[in-house]
Amino acid sequence: MIRSVLIVDDSRLARMMVAGLIAERWPTARMRETESAEQALVAVAQEAPDLIILDHSMPGAAGLDAVEKLRASAPRAQIALVTANIQNTTRRRAADAGCHFVAKPVTAEKIDKLLADLGAGP
């Protein structure tokens, strides 16, 4: 069961959309948001979430570059990489890092598939 979600994206609108889609499926889940990988590392050190939804292309550290450090702080967290970069190279890097892959734009159907893949459907 997913009780807490950390949404990491430099776009406030993207964070709001993902949070809204998750909240529709899990109204009791605690949502936290950060706008950078660096802020995500601080947030995860304070409280490890069950699920981290992580944008890849952000100023500063890219999402995939932060995965190893996020896992060190939150080893049980599932991580989903969200990106408009759907090249096979990016998909492979996400898979190699143990991340689920969600192509932007994020839709209800893509969130439902992610949750099903996590075994945590609503």
Is residue 75 in some structural domain?
A: yes
Q: What is the pLDDT of residue 58?
A: 73
Cβ proximity of 2 and 117 under 8 Å: no
Using N-to-C axis directions, what is the helix angle for 63-73 and 37-46, rounded to 10°? Answer: 10
Q: What is the pLDDT of residue 17?
A: 95
Check which CATH number belongs to the domain holding 49 and give it.
3.40.50.2300
Is residue 122 in some structural domain?
A: no
Q: What is the pLDDT of residue 110?
A: 95
Q: What is the pLDDT of residue 85?
A: 80
Into how many domains does the chain fold? 1
Per-residue pLDDT tens listing for the chain (122 residues)? 778 999 999 999 999 999 999 999 989 999 999 999 999 999 999 999 999 999 988 777 677 778 888 999 999 999 999 988 888 888 898 999 999 999 999 999 999 999 899 877 55
Domain containing residue 66: 4-117
Is residue 68 in some structural domain?
A: yes
Token reading at 53: 């939804």
What's the CA gap between 51 and 76, in Å, rounded? 9
| Strand-strand pairing, 30-34 and 4-8 | parallel
